[in-house]
Amino acid sequence: AKDYELRQYETAKWVSTVIRGEGQKEAMCQGFWKLFHYIQGKNEREMKIDMTVPVTCLVKSGCTDFKISFFVPFEHQDSPPQPTDSDVFVEERKAAAIFVRSFGGFASPEKYAEEAEVLARTLRNRGQPFHEDFFYTAGYDSPFKLFNRHNEVWYFKK
C-alpha cells in the first residue's frame, strides 16, 4: 500500500532496557545512554560494538514503561556480550510480520503517536488484523542529522 508497508522480520537479538515512570522523551534519552554505554564496552567482554539502527521504543497504551532497544549487529547475533548493567538485557524477538508507516523530520512522542494513529486507522479501514495495544517507534538517524530524516511506527500483524 502507498501509505504503509508489510515487512517480515526474522528472529533476532536486541539489547534493551526498560525505563519506568518517565515521559517517553525522557525515557528515550535515559534508555539511549544506558544502551550506548553497553555498546561502548559496559559488557562482560568490555567489547565495543558498532551502533546499529533502528533504535526502537515499545509504547503500550495506558502504560508509562518504555522499552528502548538497539539491534545487535549481525556479527554478534549468535553470542552477544552480556551487559554488566543490571538494567540492560539481551532479548530475542521472534520472527514477525510488521506493518510499517514511515515519515520524515524530527519525531517527538506526539508525532509518533499521531503517525501510529494514522497507521492504525488505515489498517482498521482495510480490515488488516493487528495488535492494537502496543506499537514500536523506530528512529534511524543521529540527533545531528538535520535533513532527510527517517522514522517509523510499527504495528505487529495478528
User: What is the per-residue pLDDT for 1?
Assistant: 73
For the chain, give every domain's residue range.
5-156
Residues in the chain with pLDDT values less than 50: none
Whether the Cβ atoms of residue 39 and residue 70 lie closer than 8 Å to each other: yes
Question: What is the pTM assigned to this prediction?
Answer: 0.96
Question: 110 phi and psi, to 5 degrees?
Answer: -65, -40
Residue 140, amino acid: Y
Cell of 16: 534493551
User: What is the per-residue pLDDT for 31?
Assistant: 97
Q: What are 83-115's pLDDT values in tens digits? A: 999 999 999 999 999 999 999 999 999 999 999
Q: Does the domain spanning 5-156 belong to CATH 3.10.20.440?
A: no
- d(Cα 82, Cα 66) in Å, to the nearest integer? 21
Cell of 55: 533504535
